[in-house]
Amino acid sequence: MTKLDAIVVGAGFAGLYMLHRLRQRGLSVQVLEQGGDVGGTWYWNRYPGARCDNESLGYSVSFLPELDQEWSWPERYSEQPVILRYINRIADELDLRRDIRFNTRVESARFDGSENLWQVDTDNGERLQARFVIMATGCLSVPNWPDIKGREDFAGDTLHTALWPHEGYDFTGKKVAVIGTGSTAIQSIPHIAGQAGKLTVFQRTANHCVPAQNGPLDPVVERERKAHYPEMRERARYTRSGDVVPQGEITIMDLDDEALEVVLQDCWDQGGFYTQYPFADQMTDPQANARVTAFSHQHIRSRVKDPATAELLCARDHPFGTKRLCADTGYFETYNLDHVHLVDLNTTPIEAVEARGIRTSDAMFDVDVIIYATGFDAMTGALTRIEITGRDGLVLRDKWDHGTRSLLGVSVAGFPNLFTVTGPGSPSVMINVVAAIEQHVEWIDACIGWLGEQGAASIEASPDAENAWVEHVNATADATLFPKANSWYMGANIPGKARVFMPYVGGLGPYRHHCDKVAADGYPGFVVTGKQGGPA
Ligand code: NA7
């Protein structure tokens, strides 16, 4: 049996950085990765139009300053192949592949208290042992297949956006159905429409959307950023969003209609998440939020020619930004094409998938291919699919059955020496995820270093501190409009999943200060065993 200091699960941004840090510490580390190569999210999500909604100058790693200078992002928001190339470059630069086992799925991890060791079993029948296990499994890595009657009966091709064929897919002349209208659908639909003979989009809930305003990266912006990269990276570490965009400087309710229109138009012209962060009250005051919603609806009406379709595309069932905001490039205009149709599943729900297509309550849609753009079992899916057994036979899936519980989103009571990168209860998906990952990885690495210095055997969240943190995470979310949406942040997209707001909305900067203080104060709230003078 292979015996290691640490096992890292996943080889996306998080797993790669974790490997790098622990290796620098002189630890023996093995990364286990289900995919055939590095990249995580960016390895799997290869659908047409897949790109990051965070600007690449920020959505990139801070620990390779030479790469910051050398690398050129062709566009403001990079498409998937470019990001995947970038991640490959990181792996090459740091010679990481030699410690990564690909095509290896972790099936179970079991803590052996007598030896303070984790036993990890893979689908290749291999067993490894390590003192530490770091789950770098990603927040959006388990695709959600909806439970639609007859799904298996379809005779044409079935695709899921998160499991896209590596060789691509030619839609030329085909009759195509897309189910779902989240970020993924909004990115891919204009591209699919460009090829398909006929495209029918099945919408259950319209999503709030802002124009991405993507384009070639302005050389002046690039030059400026490269001249100040270290300062910008340092600033980003302490902002709420993990990026350097304007944050919370404008109070919507202080502005009259005319002034607000000017400010919002400016946001829409700048595009992307510029629309989300400048406002202090957008996510807390329903009235302020409604004014942004009204502006966004006006915008949609100006872009979609058919008024009935435009109304269907206006999100109404949740406040603006309370589901992950989508960034669009030509999405709304796609519905002006004669061969593209929108089906409203609220008035005519899907009754079944049949061999020749999709039957709704009032029509049969014959199609050649069905694309499920139906999202993920987010935040917990990858963790609960692994049989993770901690102290005294406690299984993580069972512990989280009524809602996720974790201290700082990084450590769970009952699971010693197990760390979760961007776990539930941390800022993770609410912010620039690369910044969130770096903060967690650095904190975990320092914690492991500290345990070594103390000669300690294990660390885990104490139940009291975990409860207090969960309460704080909930209270922070409850002070906002976020819990009002049936979002994947709430687990609401997965039937039967506990409805708890999972990410921490307090912002990266305040969260980092808190985590740093915990470390500086010797990890209060954590149970440390084997430490000199402590329990064995
Ligand atoms: P999302 O945002 O979860 O969107 C999934 C879409 O699929 C959404 O419109 C869902 O409608 C729809 N959906 C899910 N199940 C069904 C069924 N059974 N019938 C009809 N429609 C359904 O996933 P994405 O992949 O677009 O984006 C995920 C994240 O990746 C994104 O937020 C970014 O952070 C990157 P619903 O809203 O549930 O009514």
Atom in ligand 1 nearest the alpha carbon of residue 185:
26
**pLDDT tens profile 18-30:** 999 999 999 999 9
The total number of structural domains in the chain stands at: 2
Nearest C-alpha neighbor of 479 from the set 502, 505, 458, 456:
505
What range defines the domain where residue 309 resides?
151-218+241-372
Q: Tell me: do 189 and 313 sit in the same domain.
A: yes
Which backbone phi and psi does 173 adopt, to 5 degrees?
A: 75, 0
pLDDT confidence bin for 536, thresholds 50/70/90? very low
* Phi, psi torsion values for 249, nearest 5 degrees: -95, -15
Could you tell me if 485 and 519 lie in one domain? Answer: yes
Cα atoms in the Cβ-side hemisphere of radius 13 Å centred on 518? 22
**348, 361, 493, 502: residue to mutate for ligand 1 pocket, most atoms within 8 A of CB:** 493
pLDDT tens, 36-75?
999 999 999 999 999 999 999 999 999 999 999 999 999 9
8 closest CA partner among 502, 27, 87: 27
Tell me if 260 CB under 6 Å of ligand 1: no
pLDDT tens-digit series, residues 429-471: 999 999 999 999 999 999 999 999 999 999 999 999 999 999 9
Same domain, 310 and 200: yes
For residue 74, tell me if it sits in a domain.
no
CATH of the domain at 105: 3.50.50.60
pLDDT at 533: 42
Which of 183, 428, 434 to probe ligand 1 with, by most ligand atoms within 8 A of CB? 183
Half-sphere exposure in the Cβ direction for 234 (13 Å, CA): 4
User: Tokens 């603006």 label which residue?
Assistant: 320
End residue of a domain, out of 309, 337, 372: 372
Residues 345, 451 within the same domain: no
Could you tell me if residue 506 is inside a domain? yes
Verify that 412 and 347 share a domain, yes or no: no
411 and 487 together in one domain = yes
**Length, in residues, of the chain:** 536
User: Domain ends where: 372, 406, 441?
Assistant: 372
Q: Is the beta carbon of 204 within 6 A of some atom in ligand 1?
A: yes
> Ligand 1: distance of its center to the CA of 180 in Å?
5
| Pocket test residue of 45, 144, 184, 208 for ligand 1, highest count of atoms within 8 A of CB | 184
Q: Which two tokens stand for residue 495?
A: 């039937």
Shared domain for 109 and 192, answered yes or no, is no
What single letter denotes the amino acid at residue 198?
K
Domain co-membership, 327 together with 192 = yes
In a domain, 67, yes or no: no
Looking at residue 532, what is its pLDDT? 53
Same domain, 193 and 291: yes
Q: Is 185 in the pocket of ligand 1 (CB under 6 A)?
A: yes
Q: From 372, 407, 431, give the residue that closes a domain.
A: 372
Answer yes or no: do 32 and 157 share one domain: no
Look at the alpha carbons of 90, 96, 101, 107 in this order and tell me if their dihedral is positive or negative: negative
